[in-house]
Amino acid sequence: MQVALDDYVWAAGIATDLVNTTAEVWQGEDKLPDLASLAAFAELHSLPEPSRPGDLRAVHRLRVKVRDLIDHPDQARLITGATALTTSIGDVTLDTSRDRARWAVSLRPDATVFDALSLICGVGILGVVQSLGVERFRACGAPTCRGAFIDTTRPGRRRYCMPGLCGNRVNVANHRARKAAETLDFRAS
């Protein structure tokens, strides 16, 4: 597996997906409770399949580290933390197999799902800090959500960790509040 150093949008998306699997985001339900769910997450993101008993614990620890970095977006801290995630995981190479050459890191053949996720999260964080800035690390704007995300959208106005879920919940709540206010206004007339 290779991780292109300029593909930080993809990498930041996986980092966001990882940190939002916690029980605190899902109101008590951890989305990575066992090795089978980690295997499904790995397959969804084309990562190495978890094969060791310690993989789940290692990914849970990584999830906490990445969430801590997103929650405290100080540039020096982000760079130091993300660099630590990427050390000694693979070899930097110039990938010329596509239409244009790009720098990439080739994971060691014996790399685990933890190694792959660690590298991907580190590349995503470093790429966003360098290209977009630390203000792109945010908490979810939904009042009932404790999620976090890295905003890689072009305008930089993303508000929710999972727009399809959190954004829809906010929109439904706002719609219901408007309907209730209209009903009260109608009855008062």
Statement: residue 88 has pLDDT above 70: no
**What average pLDDT score do residues 7-28 get?**
90
Kindly state the greatest CA–CA separation across the chain. Answer: 73
Mean pLDDT calculated for residue range 112-136 = 91
Determine phi and psi for 63, rounding to 5 degrees.
Answer: -60, -40
pTM for the model: 0.78
pLDDT value at residue 9: 92
Q: What is the pLDDT of residue 179?
A: 79
Above 80 in pLDDT, residue 90?
Answer: no
- Write out pLDDT tens, residues 154-189: 999 988 888 777 877 767 767 777 777 777 766 766
Instruction: Give the 3-state secondary structure of 163-178.
Output: HHHHHHHHHHHHHHHH
The token duo for 94 is 């110039």
SS3 category, 102: strand
Q: Are 8 and 128 in contact (CB under 8 A)?
A: yes
